[in-house]
A and B are shown apart, each in its own frame.
Chain A
Amino acid sequence: QSVLTQPPSVSAAPGQKVTISCSGSSSNIGNNYVSWYQQLPGTAPKLLIYDNNQRPSGIPDRFSGSKSGTSATLGITGLQAGDEADYYCGTWDSSLNNYWLFGGGTKLTVL
C-alpha cells in the first residue's frame, strides 16, 4: 500500500476530460513539489508535470497539474487513444528518512 494514494483506474471517452487524484500528508505533498509521470505500455516513465503545475517542453497543454493542501490532481482534457497509460504521482517525503515516494499508479482507459 503506497503512502501516496491514487485511484487504481479511471476511464473516459475520447474528447472527454479526466482527473486523477493523489492524496498524501503534510510530510510529503503538503510541503514538497509534486510531479506526474506517464508510462505507456512497455516503455520507461516520462515526466508530464513538475513542481505541481509546470509542463516540460513538448508536453501539450491538455495536461495540467494542481495541488491543494495534502492532495494533488492531474487533469487531462481532449482525451486521445494515445493517452491510455499508467500515471504516477511522486514527491519527496521530508520526514526523518527523507525519501522519494510514488503513488501506486492509475491506469487510464480511453473507452
Chain B
Amino acid sequence: EVQLVESGGGLVKPGGALRLSCAASGFTFSDAWMSWVRQAPGKGLEWVGRITSKSDGGAADYAAPVKGRFTISRDDSENTLYLEMDSLKSEDTAVYYCTRQLTRFDYWGQGTLVTVSS
C-alpha cells in the first residue's frame, strides 16, 4: 500500500523558516518524481514545485511565488522528500501536501498545516 506521510508543519513568524518532511512507502521512491502542492485556507490547490528522480537528473522546479525561497530535496536512502521554506510570508499559510507525480498526481499525503503569523 502506498503511503505518504507529511510532518513538520506548525506556527512560524513572518520571515522565519520551516522544513517539511514526507515519508514515503509502498513504491520505489528513488524512481519517483515528487511534488509539493499547497492549499491556503478556503482556497484552491496550488502547485509549489517538484523534484525529478536522480536517474532523471534530480532537478527541482518551482512555482513563481516560492522560487528563491523554497527548496525541494530528497533522501532516497530514507525514502523521504523535503521542503525547506525560508523567508516565509503570511500568504504561505496553507496545508502542504506531498504527492507522487507522473502525468498526474496519483498518490497524496494527508497534508501538514503551516501557519505564518506574528
Q: How large is the interface on B (under 10, 10 to 19, 20 to 34, 35 or more residues)?
A: 20 to 34
Q: Please state if A102 and B45 are interface contacts (CB–CB under 8 Å).
A: yes
Question: Number of contacting residues on A, CB 8 A?
Answer: 25
Flag whether A98 is at the interface (Cβ < 8 A). yes
- B-contact bits for A12-43, CB 8 A (1 contact / 0 none): 00000000000000000000110101010000
Q: Are A105 and B44 CB-contacts (below 8 A) given A35-B103, A37-B105?
A: yes
A59 to chain B, nearest CB (A): 11
Which residue in A44, A97, A104 is a CB contact (below 8 Å) of B97? Answer: A44
Pick the contact of A37 from B45, B63, B103, B111 — CB < 8 Å? B45
- The tally of CB-CB contacts under 8 A between chains A and B is 59
The secondary-structure label for the interface of chain A is strand
Is A97 within 8 A of B103, CB to CB? no
Q: How far is the CA of A44 from the CA of B112 in the complex (A)?
A: 10
Whether A99 lies near B44 (C-beta < 8 A) is no
Q: Mark A54-96, 1 if CB is under 8 A from B, else 0.
A: 0010000000000000000000000000000010101000000
- Counting CB contacts under 8 A, is A47 at the interface? yes
Interface string of B45-70 (1 = CB under 8 A from A): 11100100000000001111000000
What are 17 A-to-B residue pairs whose CB atoms are below 8 Å? A33-B103, A35-B103, A35-B105, A37-B105, A44-B97, A44-B108, A44-B110, A45-B45, A47-B105, A47-B107, A50-B103, A50-B106, A51-B104, A88-B45, A98-B61, A99-B63, A100-B35
List the interface of chain B (C-beta within 8 A of A): 35, 37, 44-47, 50, 61-64, 97, 102-111
